[in-house]
Amino acid sequence: MKRNFKITIEYDGTDFAGWQRQPNGRTVQEEIEKTLASITQESSPVVGAGRTDSGVHARGQVANFYSNSVFSINDFHRALNGMLPEDIVIHSVEEVNEDFSARYSAKERAYRYYISQRPAAIDRKYCWQLRYQFDIEKMNRAANSILGIHDFCAFCKTDSETEHHLCNVYSSQWRLENGLLIYSVSANRFLHGMVRALVGTMVNIGRGFTPEEDFQSILQSKDRSNAGQAAPAKGLFLERVTY
């Protein structure tokens, strides 16, 4: 009988074309599946909790796979980290119930977006560098207004394939920390491009480019063209998935 394994993953998304396997482009899912095939000599499709876009990073992505292998959890952990490329690290391996799904069993996903208002050499690949002065109170009022269940069609990529655009947002807040402007948001689900569109729109509000009172109109319009630009992928991190 096949065993079901849950893995928690950190990856630097800089050189990946996203999480999901694609015909052209290096992906996190493909790298893990290739490594598992080398370890177990069997095909083990890996299901992720979320499909991060090209350039997006993760500290707490979760995935699961089934295997007939007799390897212990520790053996799997050591083998994966020993064979995966250096921009992917497996933080934990657990054996879970047969019906566990990293995607469908998830109750909450949490992201952070990082903005630096000063030039950065080392961190330039992991934040959006903007030298504007921001009104964080205005940005936080916009962030607070999306708490609860809303239709986020206005903040979703137009090519997104989804049955509906309703998301239940549990937390949404901007804060300054060690010279970085950080947006933290958690919800039951996120749409394709949603966090980056929210960040881009709230940045426009914070710098005075978009009137604060327009935010609710944008949300209610369900029209992506009314929202701001998508923030660059490099500043976005999938922080954790809760079950």
The ranges assigned to domains in the chain are 3-96, 108-242
Say if 3-96 and 108-242 have the same CATH topology.
yes
Domain 108-242 has CATH 3.40.720.10: no
Is pLDDT of 161 > 70? no
Residue keyed to tokens 């940005």: 139
Cα gap 139→75, rounded to integer Å: 47
pTM of structure: 0.94
Question: How does pLDDT run across 26-69, given as a tens digit for each residue?
Answer: 999 999 999 999 999 999 999 999 999 999 999 999 999 999 99
Element (H, E) at 177: strand 166-177
What is the DSSP secondary-structure string of 44-75? ---EES--PPTT-EEEEEEEEEEE-----HHH
Q: What is the pLDDT of residue 163?
A: 79
Is pLDDT of 195 > 90? yes
Cα gap 15→18, rounded to integer Å: 9
Burial pattern 71-88, b for ≥16 Cβ within 10 A else e, equals beeeebbebbeeebeebb
Q: What is the pLDDT of residue 160?
A: 61
The catalytically annotated residue of 12, 53, 99, 223 is: 53
- Integer angstrom CA distances of residue 17 from 45, 50, 59, 142, 235: 18, 14, 17, 31, 15
Element (H, E) at 143: helix 136-144
Q: Token digits for 115? A: 């903005």
What is the topology classification, in CATH, of domain 3-96? Alpha-Beta Plaits (3.30.70)
Q: Is 53 marked active-site?
A: yes
* Residue 47 β-bridge partners: 64
Asked if residue 65 lies in contact with residue 16, where contact means CB atoms within 8 angstroms, the answer is: no
Q: What is the pLDDT of residue 131?
A: 87
Cα gap 46→15, rounded to integer Å: 20
Burial tier of 147 (Cβ tally within 10 Å: 0-12, 13-18, 19+): middle
Residue keyed to tokens 């096949």: 2
